[in-house]
Amino acid sequence: MSESGSRNILVITYWDRSDPLVVNYTLPYLRIMKDVLPEGSRIHLVTLERGGTVPDATPIMDGLVHHSFPYRSFGASGLGMIMRLILSLRRIIRQEGIDTLHAWCTPAGMVGYLLSVLTRKPLIIDSYEPHAEAMVENGTWRRGSLAFRTLFLFERWQTRKAKAVVAASEGMRIYAEEKYGFVPEVFMVKPACVDLDRFSSRNLKRADLLQAMGLEGKMVAVYAGKFGGIYLDQEVFDLFRTARDHWGDRLHVLLLTSHTLDELRPFMEKAGLSQDMFTIRFVLPHDVPDLMGLADWALTPVKPVPTKRYCTPIKNGEYWALGLPVMITSGISDDSGIIEKYGIGSVIASLDRDGYKAAVEQMDRILESGDRKYLYAKVRPVAERYRNYKLAEQVYRSLYGA
């Protein structure tokens, strides 16, 4: 720390500058971090670009300096990338007087760990959750692969090295004890928070959009996200087939996704669904609240694998902020339990016809219990309690406050 008390923080991510995980997830927290840091402090943000390198030190916000580097996937080229990255960041640490390394998720934590060993700067791991085992569970890696063994080993090392960790759920404390054999002394919890001003009652059922999109008089279900990987794919459309059988032509599904109709049509056809019941939109972040707000209920189809107990889907907070009851798979973070506790949605107990039917019938009972205004008043407070940026402010003030 400088004599004036200002701080210089190196924030390390494993994503590129345009990735939603940077734009919609990391940057809002960095703005909060900047607000609680002593005057004159600077944040240096590291991104890894999949499609080429963005010019170094590109301004993003006041008090933040951007450093970008080319990305290479795990393997021989990935190892070379990490070595070059370590040398470059070590130079930046020295030149810029960096006093703290703040890594976002455990892949970036691997870089943070090596830098912390080399420079003796304290390390903080943010969004601390399992990644190596998650990659095995979603079928991307094999458990015996070099990529898995390398990252899992580094997850154990960085857990022991970190000055503090910021987890997405309290359950990560148990995972760290069982899998890494150690729980950091400073263990904080910060769920995936949401801008409650951006997602609010102002975005609900805009008449002009309903008319323009032909959704007047429809029951609209919304899903914002991807298919495959950590998310279900064919199962989602089998679920929508059950919902279509229950609600008939009233049901319309709004998919806010980067997937095209050509990519999704095989899933629709296998489920026996017409593409006419779907509207597929790729939307920019500023359009999401209004389009999401057209819905009556929302879906979060995360694969119900063990590691998903320790992460928090961002979309749930956005849905809740708009007063949307949510249909979700079981065992997802604290969210499946929150939905059951407050009666603000339905949990899909099994990925089969019986499980889908029970979840749809439960959602129907919730929708019949009151109009959109009533459900907003019931669901919105859950977002205010569990997804408020004030929770993040408390965490960062504890770590960096003057």
Task: Identify whether 2 is part of a domain.
Answer: no
- Report residue 140: phi and psi, to 5°: -75, -40
For residue 402 the two structure tokens come to 């003057």
Residues 75 and 206 in one domain: no
Residues 351 and 265 in one domain: yes
Residues 223 and 268 in one domain: yes
Residues 179 and 255 in one domain: no
Query: pLDDT by residue for the chain (402 residues), tens digit each?
Result: 444 688 999 999 999 988 888 888 899 999 999 999 999 999 999 999 987 655 544 557 888 999 999 887 766 667 788 899 999 999 999 999 999 999 999 999 999 999 999 999 999 999 999 999 999 998 889 999 988 999 999 999 999 999 999 999 888 999 999 999 999 999 999 999 999 999 999 999 999 999 999 999 999 999 999 999 889 999 999 999 999 999 999 999 999 999 999 999 999 999 999 999 999 999 888 899 999 999 999 999 999 999 988 888 899 999 999 999 999 999 999 999 999 999 999 999 999 999 999 999 999 999 999 999 999 999 999 999 999 999 999 999 999 986
Distance CA(320)–CA(199), nearest Å, equals 9
Closest CA to 283 of 251, 255, 307: 255
pTM for this structure?
A: 0.88
> Which residue range(s) make up the domain with 27?
8-193+388-400
Residues 121 and 210 in one domain: no
Residues 93 and 212 in one domain: no
Residues 150 and 65 in one domain: yes
What pLDDT is stored for residue 76 in this prediction?
61
Distance CA(123)–CA(229), nearest Å, equals 30
CATH of the domain at 13: 3.40.50.2000
Residues 380 and 281 in one domain: yes
Distance CA(358)–CA(350), nearest Å, equals 9
Instruction: State the burial class of residue 167 (Cβ atoms within 10 Å of its Cβ: 0-12, 13-18, 19+).
Output: buried
Q: Which residue has the tokens 């019986």?
A: 354
Per-residue exposure over 236-253, b if at least 16 CB sit within 10 Å of its own CB, e if not: bbbbbbbbbeebeeebbb
Residues 181 and 247 in one domain: no
Q: In one letter, which amino acid is 351?
A: L
In total, how many domains does the chain have?
A: 2
Task: Identify whether 91 is part of a domain.
Answer: yes
C-alpha to C-alpha distances, 54 to 65, 70, 323, nearest whole angstrom? 12, 9, 38
Q: In one letter, which amino acid is 90?
A: R
